[in-house]
């Protein structure tokens, strides 16, 4: 992300990075099953807005069962459209 972002899963704040800064990647793990609501808020404090989001299931042998990493990712080569 560049600049700030917040990620909520079922209205629970999971990532809180609401400040200016350079492009960076944050991740979190959330235990889930069934359907869920995901909400992302972000802001840009100048040029170069970027926000990328992805998730994947963690293999059952790689950590606690049913954990899903949730995070924001900002590759340098792919700009995101600005939100208005």
pLDDT tens sequence across 11-57:
999 999 888 888 888 888 888 888 999 999 998 888 888 888 888 88
What pLDDT is attached to residue 82? 52
Contacts of 20 (CB under 8 A, 6+ apart): 3, 4, 45
Output the pLDDT for position 32.
87
18: alpha, beta or left, given left = phi > 0 and alpha = psi -120 to 50?
beta
pLDDT at 51: 84
pLDDT value, residue 73: 43
Instruction: Report pTM.
Output: 0.63
pLDDT at 43: 87
50-81 as b/e: b if 16+ CB within 10 A: bbebeeeeeeeeeeeeebbebbbbbeeeeebe
């Amino acid at each position: 992300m560049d600049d700030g972002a917040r990620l909520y899963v079922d209205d629970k704040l999971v990532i809180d990075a609401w400040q200016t800064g350079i492009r960076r990647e944050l991740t979190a793990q959330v235990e889930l099953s069934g359907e869920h609501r995901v909400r992302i808020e972000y802001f840009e404090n100048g040029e170069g807005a970027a926000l990328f989001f992805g998730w994947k299931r963690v293999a059952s042998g790689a950590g606690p069962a049913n954990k899903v990493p949730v995070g924001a990712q900002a590759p340098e080569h792919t700009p995101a459209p600005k939100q208005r």
